[in-house]
Amino acid sequence: MRNKGAIWFLAIALALVSIYQLSFTWKTAQVKKHATEYAKGDEAKYSYYLDSISGEEVYNFLFGVKKYTYRECQERELNLGLDLKGGMNVILEVSVVDVIRSLSNYSKDTTFNRAITMAKEMQKSGQDDYVTLFGRAFETIDPSAKLSAIFNTVELRDKISFTSSNQEVLDVIREEANGAIDNSFNIIRTRIDQFGVTQPNIQRLETNDRILVELPGVKDRDRVKNLLQGTANLEFWETYENKELYQSLLDANTIIKQVQDAEKALAKEQTVEQEPADEETPALLSEVKQSETAQQTEEPTLLQQLESD
């Protein structure tokens, strides 16, 4: 009986845990249904709706015991994958050729450019990485040529010297190319995380210069394409330390104070000059009124004289 009770307890606990986990999938499906009804077939509106509520609370577990946003529900829903959920499957290839050209400072050397072209052709039928094929093509074209003479640039001067062998140069090139691929991998992961895709699959393929990206549930293909292919611009701005600007700020503060004091003094002088004119006006009005009063006083006197005559 004790074993039977333990089995029932475990079964009930497992059922409750399963229901709890499935509830997030149910809630996200409900939100997506509302988004579909709102969009009415417009992919842009569908994505806008989901983005707008990503930080909103959409699930109150046990009547408010725990509240979850739509993004948190997405993170906890079941991973159905592309087979069950649909979505996008993208393979991105990092151009190692452009990396090598950049490392050589876009050399115009004939042997170098011929090796680049030959390595591309060899890559179509070969399984080796491009750097290995490039080194093999370079030695085939000119066995006595030195890669160090091409790649001894300002950027690689600390790693490559004129006495470096071709194999040493190829090792440096491979290291730089792998660094560029790792950097691209991290950028893609960061962009997809900002895009809001839950449980994406991002991995490097056996061919070292390719990256596989699987995005379950994604429908807006153009938006993902622009996101992954967008070019990042790195800008540099000249900055100054506080001690370099402090004296200039003090000088500017002094000049501004002088200008404000001069404006106040000028306004005060204009006010003083206008006061006498204001005093003369009432005096002139009073003289006019006195004259009118005198005329009014004289008129009755003249009438009285006429009546007496």
pLDDT by residue (tens digit) across 31-42?
888 888 888 877
Average pLDDT, the chain: 78
Q: Is the pLDDT of residue 209 over 80?
A: no
The 10s digit of each residue's pLDDT in 243-252 is 778 888 889 9
Identify the pLDDT of residue 302: 43
- Could you tell me which residues come within 8 angstroms of residue 56 by beta carbon, excluding any fewer than 6 positions away? 69, 70
d(CA 295, CA 283): 19
Both tokens assigned to 154: 């300002």
pTM for the model: 0.51
pLDDT digits (tens, 9 = 90+) for 68-91: 887 777 777 776 655 556 677 788
Residue-wise pLDDT tens digits, 85-124: 667 778 888 888 998 999 998 999 999 999 999 998 888 8
Tokens of 106: 């876009």
In this model, does residue 196 exceed pLDDT 80?
A: no
pLDDT in tens, 254-266: 999 999 998 888 8
Containing 73, the helix (H) or strand (E) segment is helix 70-76
pLDDT at 303 over 50: no
Model pLDDT, residue 306? 44
Confidence grade of residue 138 (pLDDT, cut at 50, 70, 90): very high
CA distance 12 to 3: 14
Q: Residue 162 in contact with residue 150, Cβ under 8 Å?
A: no
Q: What is the dihedral of CA 145, 150, 151, 157, to 10 degrees?
A: 110
Angle in degrees, CA 206, 209, 211, rounded to 5: 75
- pLDDT for the residue numbered 246: 83
pLDDT band of residue 182 (cuts 50, 70, 90) is confident
**Band (291; pLDDT cuts 50, 70, 90):** low
| Pairwise CA distance, residues 108 & 116, whole Å | 12
- With cut-offs at 50, 70 and 90, classify the pLDDT of residue 214: confident
